[in-house]
């Protein structure tokens, strides 16, 4: 289960909406070994695409150096889908290389009449996708 604060949830949704019609992407960092997202790190979608996201390699290098300096890990890796449901694509699955991370997808498309967006979390390990419950809390 992913437990996330309302503030972090809202920041991810706001980023997804702001970057629409392109996919948004970023990371929620947290203390190593805690599985607790604490810090919002929006990233630039280097692909600038409505159907694909890609972290800029220089930004990614800076992010991992910063995480190391702070004794943090990427607890959540998020991105948006602009025209499809919030479910990992084959490309998303093939690029998922953090087995301990929660992969959050936000859909800015109203694909199921459930509202203007979907917010879902998955674990992706060795190509296997498992959806998990998301619990939004005011504070930890």
Q: Which residues of the chain have pLDDT under 70?
A: 110-117
Residue with tokens 């992706």: 124
Angle formed at CA 30 by CA 85 and CA 64, multiple of 5 degrees: 90
Q: Which pLDDT does position 130 carry in this prediction?
A: 98
Q: What is the dihedral of CA 139, 73, 31, 99, to 10 degrees?
A: 80
Helix (H, G, I), strand (E, B) or coil at 56: coil
Residue range 73-95, pLDDT digits in tens: 999 999 999 988 899 999 999 99
């Amino acid at each position: 289960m992913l437990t996330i604060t309302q503030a972090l949830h809202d920041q991810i949704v706001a980023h997804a909406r702001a970057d629409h019609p392109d996919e948004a992407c970023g990371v929620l960092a947290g203390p190593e070994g805690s599985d607790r997202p604490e810090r919002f790190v929006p990233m630039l979608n280097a692909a600038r695409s409505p159907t694909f996201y890609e972290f800029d390699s220089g930004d990614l290098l800076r992010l991992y150096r910063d995480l190391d300096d702070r004794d943090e890990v990427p607890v959540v890796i998020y991105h948006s889908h602009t025209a499809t449901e919030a479910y990992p694509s084959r490309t998303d699955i093939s690029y998922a290389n953090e087995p301990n991370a929660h992969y959050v997808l936000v859909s800015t498309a109203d694909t199921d009449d459930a509202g203007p967006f979907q917010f879902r979390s998955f674990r992706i390990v060795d190509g296997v996708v498992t959806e998990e419950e998301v619990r939004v809390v005011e504070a930890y």
